[in-house]
A and B are shown apart, each in its own frame.
Chain A
């Protein structure tokens, strides 16, 4: 089974902290994605990566950065957490030619206080 694993299910952080959300996939997928999900707004793409050390901004990249040093790992970084970044964060991966589906992790519920 394809597995996409996010390092934490729940996180509580303070305003101004630097926050790292980690995602690891075990299927040698080239593409990896970070989304956030908010009620009424659905899933919105923050960043994606189609190869090691490659990254592209999604629709809402402000306040976030990413790192992809190894193919299997894609990290989302909140440089200085703010309360409006309280959300559910979802990581996904897929193969480059997109012949098969995208697979999602279990999500990280981040609360910034």
Chain B
């Protein structure tokens, strides 16, 4: 079946630094990748949708200059949290797919802690 690899699974960084999270589709080409964040005991919230070769579409309230998304190839999308602050500490998850007909596969998530 389709596999999506996300890493790192956990990262601790200092306030003010940047962190990059990678999401790779291992055995299929993902035309679309999604990035979500999840605060403790809350549901997943869609942050942005990225299509290979074009700019990401951000959801309302998500700062595009803070959460940089790059989808340079059909198998890789990256989320960079720039100038991280403690309030950015969260669980970030990606999903990748080829459209609604084929479904989407989730990565295993990245737990970011900013200290």
Q: Do A and B bind each other?
A: no
Interface residues of A (CB under 8 A from B): none
